[in-house]
Structure 1
């Protein structure tokens, strides 16, 4: 488990646009949000990423960068971008199971032929520009994820009130 106010693990992954994303190279004004999703097989993930795509400009206006990340292969990640019509939200792929565990994500094994052999369950990590964890939400199932509109409102409150990270003890 990564505690708030501690440095998060390094992370560098390929993106569906052909570039590479590196956490330690990020220069967000306010926060960087990592949205770990289950992969192409997950309809709940599709809905979540489409919602983020729709409100991405609201986050950008607040100096918040967002990336979506999965254990999917390049082929599956590209299919997600194409089939789900995600063109603005960066999609990273090839997250290893070892890396997923460093982030405290739960790992599942396939229960159908539509799923990869292993994949991480969802998680959201809100990271400060100094690469310390501000907040996280980790799920064991595809359900009960925080709504991104709620996160947006919470970040407005956090910024306006200089609200500290909680849960670091």
Structure 2
């Protein structure tokens, strides 16, 4: 199945996933703040762990710039808990992203290469910067683990966009 890819300047689709520390994460829709929304491959991905460890060191900078940081994967609660216990991530983490939700978000989806990798289809990496009105300011979709935006560069660019009230780009 071919996913419809999200367009910059459009509304981020609304989804709801279970939140690791209880309750649910409501993604999409209007918020009081900007959102940095990161979709990661899951526990099996060493590159995801490095990326999220980097995000952990910068999370306070993102929050100070007016962002809520939200991270989700298709992992089970148990796998997400293991990663948090090992790495100490303290941003909001959602788990159990369904294939239907992945399609709604327009992310690339992969089958595991073996049972050793994981036991279910999973999302390839995606990063969304979403304005408080729910509009996607920046979208970065990858079909593999090695291509992701630099978090420092992304934050610097978003600060500039906010300060200068820049519209979403790439909408032509």
CA shift at 1:64, angstroms? 0.7
- The match for 2:125 among 119, 122, 127 is 122
> Which segments of structure 1 move beyond 3 Å, counting only runs of 4 or more?
none
**Which residue among 138, 155, 170 is the counterpart of 1:135?**
138
> How many matched pairs?
167
Measured after TM superposition, the shift of residue 54 of structure 1 is 1.0
Per-residue deviation, 1:4: 1.7
Structure-1 separation of matches of 2:8 and 2:117: 35
Residue 105 of structure 1 contacts residue 121 of structure 1 at CA under 8 Å; is this kept in 2? Answer: yes
Rounded Cα–Cα distance in structure 1 between residues aligned with 2:83 and 2:30: 24
Query: What does 1:23-102 correspond to in 2, within 5 Å?
Result: 23-24=27-28, 27-29=31-33, 31-86=34-89, 88-102=90-104
> Offset at 1:18?
1.4
1:119-141 deviation per Cα after TM superposition (whole angstroms, max 9, x unaligned): 01000011111111111000000
- Partner Cα separation in structure 1 for residue 32 and residue 49 of structure 2: 25
Structure-2 residue corresponding to 1:157: 160
Aligned-partner Cα distance in 1 for 2:70–2:32: 12
Structure 1 unaligned spans of 5+: none
Q: Which runs of 5+ in 2 are unaligned?
A: none
Answer yes or no: is the 8 Å Cα contact 2:30–2:133 preserved in 1. Answer: no
TM-score by length of 2: 0.91
Deviations 1:100-122 (A, max 9, x none): 11111111111132323210100
1:23, CA displacement in angstroms?
Answer: 2.3
